[in-house]
Chain A
Amino acid sequence: MSYIVEMFHITKDFPGIRANDDITLQIEERSIHALLGENGAGKSTLMSILFGLYQPDGGSIRVRGKEVKISDPNVATSLGIGMVHQHFKLVHNFTVTENIILGMEPHKGPVIDIRTAEQKVEEISRLYGLAVDPRAKIEDISVSMQQRVEILKMLYRDAEILIFDEPTAVLTPQEIHELMQIMRRLVEEGKTILLITHKLKEIKEVADVCTVLRRGKFVGTVPVADTDEEKMAEMMVGRQVSFHVEKMPAKPGDELLRIEQLNVKNLKGVLGVKNLSLTVRAGEVLGLCGIDGNGQTELVQAVTGLCKIESGKIYLKDKDITHLSIKERTDRGLGHIPEDRQKHGLVLDFTMGENFIIHNYYEKPFANFGILNKKAIFENAERLIQEFDVRSGQGAMTPARAMSGGNQQKAIVAREIDRSPDVFVVVQPTRGLDVGAIEYIHKRIIEERDKNKAIFLVSLELDEIMDVSDRIAVIYNGEIVGIVDAAATNENELGLMMSGALRKTRSTPHPAHEAVHA
């Protein structure tokens, strides 16, 4: 068996941190090689080096047995290396084909030959079962389709070594399943895949070999067949990890959040949330599950004040907050971990210290008579970094942009949990986190519950919903199709409800309600 890619003794320094420390990695041809490691372990850095985005400070790389110097991504492309980044790099008002040929447009005389390109895209798409429409505009297609466009972009450039950086973090379980099939198909056709993921299940399902990194160092490479999820978790974290949340039964109290007959339009201008009613009580976690795009985003944005509603009422601790501003809701005790960490959660050009005070920068101790108190801001950041184990090169002074994806997420979660809001809307809190971090964040969420806060958890991860929630509401097509007891349900029942095949009636609005609030 031959190695198609070999990286020897790779070292890479960033300000204040050695992201890769003497890492050696050998990839067999036609295999799926998983890369596993805690947040900030250096996975993305290592792959960015292979793709020519960063230059290593030490070490060497061989591709197909030949020593190479990958000075930029063009060199990587000519070596047959392609990469799908965690945050896609597509032009939104271009079509699929236009995006794919960007930078290497085929010409017919002086004009771009889009016809031929479309045909080629269509062909590749069919060969690997990608089912992408070459003429669709990027802004009109789903996230998972966009990801496939990124895959097509690599294949169009004849890439043979495909790097995927956390491709499943943005996908629904069904889409993940399809992606796994696509990956297998790619390997059948002779491609080699490097896969970064935090989901051990996926590694077990699809990968042949798994290399584990910890704090920039190489821990080991194991054949996936010889290991299991527990062992892999232990290898990467250095201790045993519990995959299940330890918690006492909930003791629900007063209704802290009440949503009545809510109607919200989505971006397309049609109702994304229809006549929806829900309540969350103090001391309980209400999980909301559903297939992506069934109204979760609109519901959350309506509750938190990020978008306008059509009609309905929202009560926070019995006060009507329907028409209050985001700030007023926050001041009345609403907290929110946003779905999109780079859009809403962080100011990437701020330091961590600055990001941590985004809600209360004008309050004591962070400010005095309108003047920022740098020392208090710094100390606050150091405390949160410590408590939540947020890893970065320069602590409080690290620009958010220079942090690994998972650590950006941890920083947001730390900031929001630390405020300990009475009603806490938690969306995808563990997206991109490693198993150790997930365990910790889940524990902290349950602690908040036990402090008698109302937690509204929205997640696409069924495991997370079933583990953390006390009650589970299922959303389908903008409506709640049922609310079930988390202890008394299973994946099957939820799956049926999520696809609209099963309804548990209790949640449909009763006429009595309407009469009262009409």
Chain B
Amino acid sequence: MTARKEKIVLPLIAVLLGFVLGSLIVKLTGRSPLSMYAAIIKGFSGIDILNGQPINTRYIGEFVIQAMPIILTGLSFAFASRTGLFSIGAEGQLMIGSISATAVALLLEAPKGIHLPLVLLAGILGGALWGAIPGLLKARYNVHEVVVTIMMNYIALHFNNFVILHLFGSADRVKTAPFPTTALLKSPFLESITRNSRLNWGFIPVILALLIFSFIINKTTFGYSLRAVGYNKEAARYAGMKVSRNIVASMAIAGAFAGLAGAVITVGTFNFGRVIQSAEGYGFDGIAVALVGGNEATGILLAGMLFGGLKAAQPLMQSQGIPREIAGIIQASIVLFVAMKYGIKMVIDKFERKQAPSTEGDRV
């Protein structure tokens, strides 16, 4: 296989194997895989194949809502990854993005055209700042980013809750007062075409983020130097690149993507700042999305939609009598199969050789 073909074929096979494993488990628990697929299809498209009902657009809206934040946290993980960093910090950066957005939403009064962009910007900056800290510690003192980002997730969680409860004053001890409408991504239009789903304008910043990610990494000199550092730090140093500065910048930008996710959730899905009991899993979902998406924008978009759809299908599966955890198992096994890509590749190569013993093996 060529490298190009590999990048597309291997994740697809992993996805397939993930679903096969999921079906097997459903079968083992004595339920019908068919109803699982029916639930998943409904989660993605709103089409109810069991009862032959036409498209219910509400489901599409809900599925997009699920996909948006994990695409962004996926971009976050992937960006750090491209610089050779393993950032577990998206979860916390997202919370800081969320609390920053909350602050600007509550404290500022301005027309929508100004207020909303500032809210999103606050989320981005909050996340970037939170991301820059582990970057700095790594660059200056060589403290491993995995440890720091994990710890900072906890700090973010409690910081978020402290601010919500004590600074913005929560009446019911779980959320702030509702935001003014000028700060919201909500759109009556989008809601009306999706039968009152929570779909909002949040997908626009998500698409922009995807484009910006791809542009920075592939087209700019900055992206070039990030990739150089990521692939071979010593060679980058030899070439005179500022390795430390790149590490900080990369972590900050990774944080910015996650922070944006926080803002999109806060002023899109919700319309108030809220107390968070424990990590909500956006960070880990992002890692899964980035791994399956091969750390590239297109892949992340597709993987994000896949996992978003699986999330959206969970309640539907439950109503079919299938444990909602199955969706998690499918997601986890897809990631596992992606991690096993070398094994899969070996099997395919063997298979291909048997098929074509000609002289044309690796030709493109």
Are A361 and B225 neighbours in the complex by a CB distance under 8 Å?
yes
Q: How far is the CA of A55 from the CA of B351 in the complex (A)?
A: 13
- Mark B79-119 against chain A: 1 for CB-CB distance below 8 A, else 0: 00000000000000000000000000000000000000000
Are A359 and B359 neighbours in the complex by a CB distance under 8 Å?
no
B358: chain A residues within 8 A (beta carbon): 57-58
Are A344 and B221 neighbours in the complex by a CB distance under 8 Å?
no
User: Which chain B residues in 166-225 approach chain A with CB under 8 Å?
Assistant: 219-222, 224-225
User: Which chain A residues in 298-349 approach chain B with CB under 8 Å?
Assistant: 306, 325-327, 330, 336, 338, 343-349
Are B359 and A57 neighbours in the complex by a CB distance under 8 Å?
yes
Are A372 and B221 neighbours in the complex by a CB distance under 8 Å?
yes
B138: chain A residues within 8 A (beta carbon): none
Are A344 and B234 neighbours in the complex by a CB distance under 8 Å?
yes
Are A359 and B224 neighbours in the complex by a CB distance under 8 Å?
no
B232: chain A residues within 8 A (beta carbon): 343, 346-349
Q: Does A255 contact B (CB under 8 A)?
A: no
Q: Does B36 contact A (CB under 8 A)?
A: no
Least CB distance, A352 to chain B, in whole angstroms: 14
A371: chain B residues within 8 A (beta carbon): 219-221
- Mark B220-250 against chain A: 1 for CB-CB distance below 8 A, else 0: 1110110110011011111111100000000
Which range holds the interface residue count of chain A? 35 or more
Q: How far is the CA of A55 from the CA of B346 in the complex (A)?
A: 12
Q: Does B280 contact A (CB under 8 A)?
A: no
Q: Does A367 contact B (CB under 8 A)?
A: yes
Contact of B235 among A327, A358, A367, A399 (CB under 8 A): A358
Closest to A374 in B: B219
Q: How far is the CA of A465 from the CA of B224 in the complex (A)?
A: 37
Q: How far is the CA of A358 from the CA of B118 in the complex (A)?
A: 38
Least CB distance, B363 to chain A, in whole angstroms: 5
B361: chain A residues within 8 A (beta carbon): 12-13, 55, 57
Interface centre among A71, A347, A348, A359 (most CB of B within 10 A): A347
Are B235 and A14 neighbours in the complex by a CB distance under 8 Å?
no
- Mark A1-41 against chain B: 1 for CB-CB distance below 8 A, else 0: 00000000001111110000000000000000000000000
Q: How far is the CA of A325 from the CA of B359 in the complex (A)?
A: 52
Contact of B362 among A14, A325, A330, A349 (CB under 8 A): A14
A14: chain B residues within 8 A (beta carbon): 362
Closest to B216 in A: A370
Contact of A13 among B224, B242, B362 (CB under 8 A): B362
Closest to A402 in B: B3
Are B238 and A345 neighbours in the complex by a CB distance under 8 Å?
yes
B236: chain A residues within 8 A (beta carbon): 347
Contact of A350 among B228, B237, B242, B360 (CB under 8 A): B228
User: Which chain A residues in 343-379 approach chain B with CB under 8 Å?
Assistant: 343-350, 354, 358-359, 361-362, 367, 370-372
Closest to B3 in A: A399
B221: chain A residues within 8 A (beta carbon): 361-362, 367, 370-372
Are A15 and B363 neighbours in the complex by a CB distance under 8 Å?
yes
* A15-B364 CB under 8 A given contacts A349-B231, A370-B221: yes
- Mark A42-59 against chain B: 1 for CB-CB distance below 8 A, else 0: 000000000000010110
B228: chain A residues within 8 A (beta carbon): 347, 350, 358
Question: Number of residue pairs across A and B with beta carbons under 8 Å?
Answer: 84
A346: chain B residues within 8 A (beta carbon): 232, 235
Are A372 and B362 neighbours in the complex by a CB distance under 8 Å?
no
Contact of B238 among A11, A338, A372 (CB under 8 A): A338
Q: How far is the CA of A55 from the CA of B357 in the complex (A)?
A: 10
A58: chain B residues within 8 A (beta carbon): 358-359
Are B227 and A350 neighbours in the complex by a CB distance under 8 Å?
yes
Q: Does B2 contact A (CB under 8 A)?
A: yes
Closest to A71 in B: B350
Q: Does B27 contact A (CB under 8 A)?
A: no
* A370-B222 CB under 8 A given contacts A13-B359, A330-B240: yes
Closest to B215 in A: A371
B234: chain A residues within 8 A (beta carbon): 343-344
A345: chain B residues within 8 A (beta carbon): 235, 238
A349: chain B residues within 8 A (beta carbon): 231-232
Are A359 and B220 neighbours in the complex by a CB distance under 8 Å?
no
Least CB distance, A411 to chain B, in whole angstroms: 13
B140: chain A residues within 8 A (beta carbon): none
Q: How far is the CA of A326 from the CA of B235 in the complex (A)?
A: 12
A325: chain B residues within 8 A (beta carbon): 240
Are A372 and B219 neighbours in the complex by a CB distance under 8 Å?
yes
B235: chain A residues within 8 A (beta carbon): 343-347, 358
A336: chain B residues within 8 A (beta carbon): 238
Q: How far is the CA of A58 from the CA of B220 in the complex (A)?
A: 43
Are B362 and A361 neighbours in the complex by a CB distance under 8 Å?
no
* A359-B239 CB under 8 A given contacts A15-B2, A347-B231, A370-B221: yes
Are B359 and A344 neighbours in the complex by a CB distance under 8 Å?
no
* A359-B225 CB under 8 A given contacts A55-B361, A57-B360, A372-B220: no
Closest to B222 in A: A370
* A326-B238 CB under 8 A given contacts A55-B353, A370-B221, A371-B220: yes
- Mark B45-66 against chain A: 1 for CB-CB distance below 8 A, else 0: 0000000000000000000000
Q: How far is the CA of A58 from the CA of B360 in the complex (A)?
A: 9
A399: chain B residues within 8 A (beta carbon): 3
A16: chain B residues within 8 A (beta carbon): 364
User: Which chain A residues in 365-416 approach chain B with CB under 8 Å?
Assistant: 367, 370-372, 399
Are A348 and B219 neighbours in the complex by a CB distance under 8 Å?
no
B242: chain A residues within 8 A (beta carbon): 327
Least CB distance, A18 to chain B, in whole angstroms: 9
Q: How far is the CA of A349 from the CA of B229 in the complex (A)?
A: 11
A12: chain B residues within 8 A (beta carbon): 361
Q: How far is the CA of A55 from the CA of B224 in the complex (A)?
A: 34
Contact of A11 among B3, B231, B353, B359 (CB under 8 A): B359
* A13-B363 CB under 8 A given contacts A358-B228, A367-B221: yes
Least CB distance, B342 to chain A, in whole angstroms: 13
User: Which chain B residues in 1-21 approach chain A with CB under 8 Å?
Assistant: 2-3
Least CB distance, A158 to chain B, in whole angstroms: 26
User: Which chain B residues in 329-364 approach chain A with CB under 8 Å?
Assistant: 349-350, 353, 358-364
Q: How far is the CA of A361 from the CA of B236 in the complex (A)?
A: 12
B239: chain A residues within 8 A (beta carbon): 326, 358-359
Are B362 and A57 neighbours in the complex by a CB distance under 8 Å?
yes
Q: How far is the CA of A306 from the CA of B234 in the complex (A)?
A: 9
A15: chain B residues within 8 A (beta carbon): 2, 362-364
A330: chain B residues within 8 A (beta carbon): 240
Least CB distance, B330 to chain A, in whole angstroms: 31
Q: List 20 A-B contacts (CB under 8 A).
A: A13-B360, A13-B362, A14-B362, A16-B364, A57-B358, A57-B359, A57-B360, A326-B237, A326-B238, A326-B239, A336-B238, A344-B235, A345-B235, A347-B231, A347-B236, A350-B227, A350-B228, A370-B220, A372-B219, A372-B221
**What 18 additional pairs, Cβ within 8 angstroms, besides A13-B361, A15-B362, A358-B228?**
A12-B361, A13-B359, A13-B363, A15-B2, A71-B350, A325-B240, A326-B240, A336-B238, A347-B227, A347-B232, A348-B231, A350-B228, A354-B224, A358-B239, A359-B239, A361-B225, A370-B220, A370-B221
The 10 closest A-B pairs by CB, nearest first: A327-B240, A344-B238, A57-B361, A358-B239, A58-B359, A326-B240, A362-B221, A349-B231, A57-B359, A347-B232
